[in-house]
Copies of this chain bind each other. A is one copy, B any other.
Amino acid sequence: MNGAGSFSQDVKIRDRFWSRTRETVRREGIPYQWKALNDQIADAEPSYCMRNFRIAAGKEQGEHAGYVFQDSDAAKWIEGAAYTLRWHPDPELEATIDGAIREIVEAQQPDGYLDTYYTIKGLHKRFTNLKDHHELYCAGHMLEAAVAYYRVTGKRELLDAMIRFVDCIDGAIGPEEGKIRGYPGHPVLEMALMRLYDITHEEKHLRLARYFVDQRGQQPLFFEEENRKNHNDFHWKDSPFQYQYYQAGKPVREQQEAEGHAVRAMYLYSGMADVARVTGDESLRAACRRLWESTVYRRMYVTGNIGSSEYGEAFTFDYDLPNDTIYGETCASIGLVFFARRMLELDAKGEYADVMERALYNGILSGMQLDGKKFFYVNPLEVVPEACRRDAHKRHVEFERQRWFGCACCPPNVIRLISSLEEYICSVKDDTIYLHLYVGGSADVQVNGHKVHLEIETRYPWDSKVTIRVHADTQEKVILKLRIPGWCKEYTVSMDGKRVEGQAEDGYFAVCPDADTVISMDIKMPVTILRANPRISEDTDKVAISRGPIIYCLEEEDNGKALHMLRLCGAAPGAFSAEWKEDKLGGIVELNVEGIRESDTGWENVLYGDRPIESQKAQLTFIPYYSWANRHPGEMRVFVRR
């Protein structure tokens, strides 16, 4: 297998689609969330996040408040804010981040320990509930923030602090006599350590990440022993997944299926893939592949959302993909993007980028309101507001995004992903440049010591044309591998106006541009009517509509109530009109088609009968799934009757 190389490239995004979103995130999300962390949002629950650091530092009196993992919100905010500095330098924001880092570092203990919950509640209890108390999770996020800020600004204060905390953790946890033989209840530290290792190349950082991965789920089960020893509860004792909630029911190499809490699963698998890449561990790579297949081949929604059940925010079983009781947490799809990119790093196959793209343009973007001010935790594929209000099984499904959550994992997670989109676009391996996502802008990459500059122009995802201007300072051979999305059946690639014959292999179309070449791609994106795998009982006799990477939905605002009474009635893909709407929902390609609307005429006061169901012609208007719930609250559905 052959990985796609490094994604750490000098990419600049100037893109109709993404720049608007990123500007929204920068202008709205970052300042808003900083206020939230500092309890300055009048109509939201206080976060207490920064206050906890001040209390832990002894600068303020009070008790720890918020979740045990409240520290991680600051970390995710710093990470997201740091990324924006890369594409929008802002001394004022940088000063704010520096200030935040100072407050965080002041809460660090002399031995490097840094977690406000135990610092305030009593340090003697630290590392006594790795299963549920998120110390290592907070450490992981803070380490990711430290790495991001160091890479963007070169400033080491938080990085050095986190290296000291990692040493502290390393001193307490590990296989050696007297240490705790544990691992994170909520993974993320694994991949954070691997990012640290990419900077430090210190063996001990790799070793700790590897230990966490290898030790996980080994018998005797650490979490069981920890429960016994420290009298910790086991919340999931009646659940079907048991310790697989934490992906810790068996060693990772023995795990056959994506199980348990979906965010934890994705974060763990991402860390596993990092370790496999660096160590070349074949059995670990095989485990990643198996868990990828379980996730993506059998347990993923068409929008790239994952996690079929609110109970445990978890996977359930193969092909169980209910549209209305779904969990589909925004963070889980973000984790899926992390995992997908790491699988690409292991093996340059288009299917990984396909999933990355699917989640990014659909199930993740749906997590944020177009104005960047409100967020979904849960991303349903079918919503009837009355059901959310009156059916307890759907109470977790919101039909309006919320300002800020008590458990605020999703908003900063969206922000850090979108503000670091540069890290998902292209990668370089030896003499090959891979273009994975079509986002307008430029990339300056090094290929075998030579500089190559790419200028990318496109109106993707709305338009099929992509122009790539290549300028290399060498005549040596450079291979450019252009991703042909899995959804694309027809495409052309031209160099300097001349059609390049050939076929995509493993999802990539290879060209060898000269030093100055203009490449024109046409990735045809007709409307496509998607069926679900016939094993998915939820979607029988229904279809989803897509165009390019965008999954569409019907919304009440355009189509009236009772969306389940609308039918496409066999409409072919060619019957759909696709029209650019500049002023609708931030600019979208809207799809329209003639279908039918059933009526209940003749069915008043009759629940069951063999009378006919009348219907009349109706125009069905589809909007991109990510843009739903940006007008008036109402019904929505992705899977529509045929």
A-side residues, CB < 8 A to B, are: 239-240, 293, 296-298, 300, 302, 308-312, 316-317, 320, 325, 384, 386-387, 389-393, 528-537, 540-541, 544, 562, 564-565, 573, 598-600, 603, 605-611, 613, 641-642
Contact = CB atoms under 8 A, between A and B. Distances in A.
Contacts of A529: 610
A387 B320 contact: yes
Given A316-B390, A564-B537, A607 B297 contact: yes
List 4 tightest A-B contacts by C-beta distance, closest first.
A311-B392, A537-B564, A541-B541, A297-B605
Contacts of A573: 610
B564 A302 contact: no
Contact of A533 (B386, B528, B608): B608
Kindly name the residue among A311, A317, A537, A573 whose own CB sees the greatest number of chain B CB atoms within 10 A. Answer: A537
B534 A603 contact: yes
B386 A302 contact: no
Given A534-B599, A535-B600, 7 more contacts: A308-B391, A310-B392, A317-B387, A531-B608, A535-B603, A540-B541, A540-B565
B535 A390 contact: no
Contacts of A308: 391
A238 to B, nearest CB: 9
Assembly of this chain: how many copies?
Answer: 2
A134 B533 CA distance: 50
B302 A608 contact: yes
Contacts of A384: 537
A392 B312 CA distance: 9
B534 A608 contact: no
B607 A302 contact: yes
Contact of A607 (B298, B603, B611): B298
B600 A534 contact: yes
A386 to B, nearest CB: 6
Nearest to A308: B391
Contact of A300 (B393, B537, B607): B607
A321 to B, nearest CB: 8
B528 A610 contact: yes
A544 B609 CA distance: 9
22 contacts: A239-B392, A240-B389, A240-B392, A296-B607, A297-B606, A302-B608, A309-B392, A311-B393, A312-B392, A316-B387, A317-B390, A320-B391, A325-B325, A530-B610, A532-B607, A534-B565, A535-B562, A535-B565, A537-B562, A540-B641, A541-B641, A544-B608
A311 B565 CA distance: 27
A392 B327 CA distance: 12
A244 to B, nearest CB: 11
Contacts of A528: 610
Nearest to A321: B607
B325 A610 contact: no
Contact of A598 (B297, B530, B534, B565): B534
A239 B607 CA distance: 27
Contacts of A536: 607
A310 B310 CA distance: 16
B608 A309 contact: no
A385 to B, nearest CB: 11
A309 B311 CA distance: 16
B608 A530 contact: yes
